[in-house]
Every structure is written in C-alpha cells, then in structure tokens.
Amino acid sequence: MTDGKLYIDGRWTGGTGDGFASFDPATEARVWRGNEASTAQVGTAVAAARAAFPDWADRARADRTDAMKRYQAALKARAPAFAEAISRETGKALWETTAELGSMAGKVDLSIRAYDERTGERTSETAFGSATLRHRPHGVAAVLGPFNFPGHLPNGHIVPALLAGDTVVFKPSEETPHTGQLMAECLEEADLPAGVFNLVQGGRDVGAALLDQPIDALMFTGSGAAGAHFRKKFADDPHIILALELGGNNPLVVWDAADAVAGIVVQSAFVTTGQRCSCARRLIVPEGPAGDAILEAVNSLVDRLIFAPWDSTPEPYGGPLISQRAAEQALAALQQRIDAGARVIRASGPVDNLPAAFVRPAILDVTGIEVPDEEMFAPFLSVTRVPTFEAAIAAANATRYGLSAGLVSDDPKNWDHFVRRIRAGVVNFNRPTTGAAGDMPFGGLGASGNHRPSAYYAADYCAYPVASFEAGTVMNIEGEIRGLRA
C-alpha cells in the first residue's frame, strides 16, 4: 500500500484534509491511503502555479519540449510497474494498462507535432514589414482526471498544456489517487521548475475548491452531468477556457453485413467492461431474421469473454467496474429499463465468487420502449430494431449526446449516407466505436462536449492566437489617412 502525498510548488507534502483511500476493485485490497488537500492547500497550489507561469511561458519552446521528453523517458522507464499499479487501482486487465502507458509516452511526440502544426509561429512579409502569428498560453490550467483511463486521459491535457507554456494543478479522480501520484513522480523526474506542475488529491469538495480559485482554464474528462454543471458555473466567466470531454449514449448501426459483425459489436460495447466514454450503448439492427442473426452471433461471442481479476490466468478480457457502488448504480439503471418494459436478451448480475464490483454483460431489447437518454457506464447494451436504414440513422441521432457512432455494413453506399447524416465527433465504419487515434481529434457534440476536441486538437485549447502586424521602424503613415484637411 502507498502512503499518499500532494505535490505543491516542487515539494511533497501530506494533505491536511480528511483521510481517504483507494482499493483494488478486483480484490478489495487497499492500494493507497492519504489525506485530501485542504482548501488552503488548494489555494497554495494555484498560487504556486500562478507564480511559476511567467517564467515557464517565457522559456524557449525547446526548453519545454526537453522537459516533456524527460517526462516521457520517466514514463518509459517505469512502464511495467506503472501499468501494474493502474491495474491494481482500477481492476483493468494488464494488457489494457500496458497499452495505456504506451499511449501516455506516445502522447509527448504527438503533442510536440500538434503544437508545431496547430499552434506554432509563422511570419509573412508585407509592404510595411511583416505579419506574424504567435500563440500564447492561457495561464493556470486546472485538470480534473477520470478513473477509467486515470493516466492516459489527464495526460492528454497536461502534456499539451505544459508544452504551450501553461502551468497545471491536477486533481485525479478520488478513485485513482495512486495513479495521479505516480504521474506526479514522473513529472518531478522531468525537473520542471517549482510550481509548474502541482498535484492535489481528494473528492468532489477538493475539485470544487480548485474551481473556486483564480484559474484560467478547466480541462475535464468525465460525465455529461458534471460537464453541464461546469458550463453553468463558468457561464459568466468567458475568460476561463473550458475543454470538456464528456460521455455519450453512443449508437452502433449494423446493416447489410454478412460476416464478422459480432467482434465489432463486442469490442464496441464491452471493452474495458463498458467503462469507455466511446463505448456503444445502443445497437441498432434490422427487424426480422437479419437482426436476430446479429444478436445470436453477439450473444455467442459474449459467452466466451473472460471477466476476472487483472492478474488472472488465463488473461481476462475485462475486469470489474471501478467499485461496488458503481456496480450497484449500473445494475439499478439496468433494472429501471427492465421495469419500463425492456426485454432481457442477456441478463446481468454478479460474477461467481468474485467481489461485488464485477458484473456480467447485459443485452436488452428496448424496441418501442421509452428509456432514459443516459449513458450506462457498464457492459450493458440496448438493442433497437428498425425497418429501414433511414430509420436506423434517425434512431442513432435520437440522443442529446454526440461523442461516437459507428456503422457496420458491406455496402459502401450506406457509409456514404451515414457519415453525412450522423451527428457525432468520432464516426467509424466497420470498426468499433471505441477506435480512436492520438493524431486525430477526439470529442463530441451536444452533451458530449463543448466543441473543444482533445487528442491532437488539445493544442488548440492550450494556447490562444495573437496576430501582429509589424514594421521595423516608425513609419509616417499620414498619407494613408483619408479625410484630412490639406
């Protein structure tokens, strides 16, 4: 078990707030124990970031790049142990957390490229001298991290922010404080100036205290409900940049597809035990025998999936949800749909002889049933049967969310129509809805975001553009002024 610390102004210190802990949901063993940051400590962290900002922003771009390269080296050196730590804290399979560490290290090179391409500097000659485009950092960025990818997702905000010249105060999810502490240790090894990166730990009250401080940006990955709260909170503060990557009630349409459908559906709906914001929550299929065949194939493949502790042999496909409480909430939401009339195709419930955070995948037929337009963050899939492809697109778009969507079809004409009509920020063809890439944007519409996509486009919200029109010497421009008396 790890003793928890905060990292403020280049120093490790204990929190002076309430005590809390994180647990391995696969074994219920305690992983991390520490104390929350007090309101005063949160204020100290933001003040340290504010004081460090002018020097960090003014440093040569190469200095900040070199610092991120040192951070990358620390991630790579620690990768096996770090991946195991994330598995222990989240319950995710080791193959997943090993990939997460690879994405974290790879984010550095991708962010450097994105900074150059999207927020760099360029100058063009003019008749009077030159016109120059520059980008300047915003200031102090508050980063709130999620539990499902507790390293990769906040890392996707932190690295581009630091490259741009912003300073950071990071609060991990209260479910994954150990992962946040390990990230801070790697950033300490990068030899950043004191105050450039700060770590505070705790739950909702600590996050609220952070957002009550004089910050310049909020970078958040989490639920649509939390995102809606932040929009309201900062509605009268347009100077505070909001970068919100939120959830989705994501549709996957399967139409005119003969083979290999089940694997795409399963990987869309059940990977990471359904704990990805881009997971398919809604499967839309044709009425009649074609739809029946799709569901039969999916059900058969789900039978073969192994859900077990992360260090099990054979290697599991998935693990538990993040906590017993999360499992109870997910099962309650599932039962609400059943009570509303949904037909059970595949029932959920506990996994034999394992802690209560484990739940079985579920499939419900909700055709003709009015169910909440909400994300169930669990391995639960709702099926809707429709008569035509146009009806399938309409059903897919019948949500206030718009993060990811997918089409599985052997007919390219279907894809041409689908990609022009569907409203989502990530739209995949014959690939899982969870497919994404660090060198592409990642974000959604409606309740899924605020039109500030992350991944490669994170550079856009970490700095603002400055246009300058410059003459090397003071010029007499009276001749350009019209309407003067002779």
The DSSP annotation for 31-56 comes to EEEEEPPPHHHHHHHHHHHHHHHHHH
CA distances from 196 to 5, 78, 201, 330, 433 (A): 17, 22, 17, 39, 36
Beta strand 280-286 with 426-429 is unpaired
Phi-psi category of residue 31: left, alpha or beta, with phi > 0 → left and psi -120 to 50 → alpha: alpha
Contact 425, 453 (CB under 8 A): yes
Given the residues 36, 100, 175, 277, the one annotated as active site: 277
Q: 3-class SS at 285?
A: strand
Given the residues 96, 174, 245, 374, the one annotated as active site: 245
Q: 3-class SS at 121?
A: coil
The DSSP annotation for 79-120 comes to HHHHHHHHHHHH---HHHHHHHHHHHHHHHHHHHHHHHHHH-
In terms of Cα–Cα distance, which of 110, 109, 102 is closest to 79? 102
Structure tokens at 106: 């790879």
Contacts of 35 (CB under 8 A, 6+ apart): 4, 14, 15, 16, 17, 18, 19, 20, 201
Strand partners, 378: none
The CA distance from 304 to 266, in Å, is 11
137: cis peptide before it, omega within 30°? no
CA distances from 323 to 23, 177, 331, 455 (A): 8, 14, 12, 28
What sign results for the dihedral spanned by CA atoms 323, 328, 329, 333? Answer: positive
What's the angle, vertex CA 484, arms to CA 482 and CA 486, rounded to 5? 125
328 noted as active-site residue: no
Beta strand 404-408 with 250-254 is parallel
The CA distance from 129 to 215, in Å, is 37
Query: Dihedrals φ, ψ of 244, to 5°?
Result: -115, 115
Query: Dihedrals φ, ψ of 86, to 5°?
Result: -65, -40
In terms of Cα–Cα distance, which of 149, 144, 168 is closest to 67? 168
279 noted as active-site residue: no
Which residues are annotated as catalytic?
A: 245, 277
